[in-house]
Structure 1
Amino acid sequence: MISPPQFSFVRSLLKQKTGVVIDDSKVYLVVARLMPIVRQRKIPSLDSLVDRLRAGSDQTLQRDVLNAMMTHETSFFRDRSPFATLQKLIPELVKQRAATKQLCFWSAACSSGQEPYSIAILFNEYFRDLLSTWRIRIIATDISDVVLDRCRAGTYSELEVLRGLSPNLLKKYFTPLQGQWSVSQECRKLVEFRRMNLHEAWPMMPFVDIVFLRNVLLYFDLPTRASIIQKMRRVVKPDGALFLGGAETMLGIDDTYQRIAGVGCSYYRPKL
């Protein structure tokens, strides 16, 4: 177990460094996610681990703790409807970007990479003819170095590929590799992975046509959500689209976007 003062410190550290908020009922979550670090490092107890965090001298420990506390739930083509909407939006964007022949997508808080690779698969499946003459960029960011390493490796377990991929897509865009499945080079080359903390000052980002910020805001408090949404306005093109998760909304957070109906879901576009 973890003592109340130590739990409070972990909560504060998580909020300060990542913006993620956990409530008093999540003691079990902290214990479950940090005990593997206690065992791996052979630390006497969870409270002792927090004592080392308080000392502030072990930045590697702090990084490992923050990585462990992140939620990485994701799957290929998660919820389906945003990708059906994206498939409908791309031809419109192609017409609007005919002069530059460039499209840029951003998967923000991409976790272990299934979302950006799903976008790459969709592009190869339905818009392959553009790839030889257009510059297509899929930028994928996350706060966790651990999951970014997984993204770059591009290998997934049998269970992971069965969550969201049809047998046809699996056969076309993955190859078996030592009991796992490896993403094809034609999809890998479209995606660039970067470390980014949405809670901190953002590095320079290109203007993007489509942002997937799905199932991310729900982990933040209202001021942090508002700050992130406001910064998105500086990145999303005026005729672009911002996708949130199915349970997320801008209601009561930001009124400078218009909500537009898609295929079984909605997306947001900056108001002019």
Structure 2
Amino acid sequence: MQAMSDVQRAALATAVEQLAWTAVREVLELEPGEGPRSDLPDADLRQMWLTALTSLLAIRDSAEQLAASTALSAAQRGADYPEIGHAAGMTRQGARRKWPGLAGLSDERRRKLTWWNQHGREFADSVRAVLADAGGQREPSRLTVLRERLDEIERASPAARIDACDMVLIDAHAIAMNTASGHAGGLLAALIADAYAATTSHSALVSHDSRTCAADDCPDEPIVEVWRANVDRQAVPVCRAHAIDALGQPATRIVAAYRPDVALIVFTEANGDA
């Protein structure tokens, strides 16, 4: 990465100073171009310099927030901590302490794009089916937002699509958990569970060693978690056979999958879909 030259740094410092004094003039309602002059009273000069200090510190805080966002974007596009640290003028350990959690984000973006390419059309159709059934629900604003986000994500470029994917999944999950739509809502919930299993490291972090199927005396390994509206206080882990049985009950949803694609397979078997 090419470093900034001294001339470029000086130009940047000048631009920051000009921005700060523009803010000073707006706050103090000064004329354009007006600034400290030797003929002004000390009280006026003091007020100008204090306001400039406030402006510069606000710029610093904004720059810190933008730097964090920029480090995140760089990591999502494949930058590692040594590269981020070099760009920030610090060691990789310093970069990790300042912006934790950036490792592996480019892999997560790749997994999201892969999932969308494989299941995006089915997901979009499922969302629209639920929205069609849920048109009379009490939260039209949420439904409207989801429709708009779905339209946006389908029109977007691959990079923008990945950035919008998380919010679409969150909104769709809320609808799937609360809709009265049976098959469409269950299918959407299963797709979302698979999406999270495929695109994040959550499934890899779940320890299955101490988990067994929640059904009585069942020693089989759980593969999904199910939840029944107005019945279960929390989701319960179940094996394949008991997941299929549970999905035969009204308003039961798959809310988590321990491996990619397993939720959709279980839902399909439970509903006899081809």
**TM-score with structure 1 setting the length:** 0.31
Question: Bigger relative contact order, structure 1 or 2, given CA contacts below 8 A and separation 6+?
Answer: 1
Q: Going by fraction, where is helix more abundant, 1 or 2?
A: 2
| Higher CA-based Rg | 2
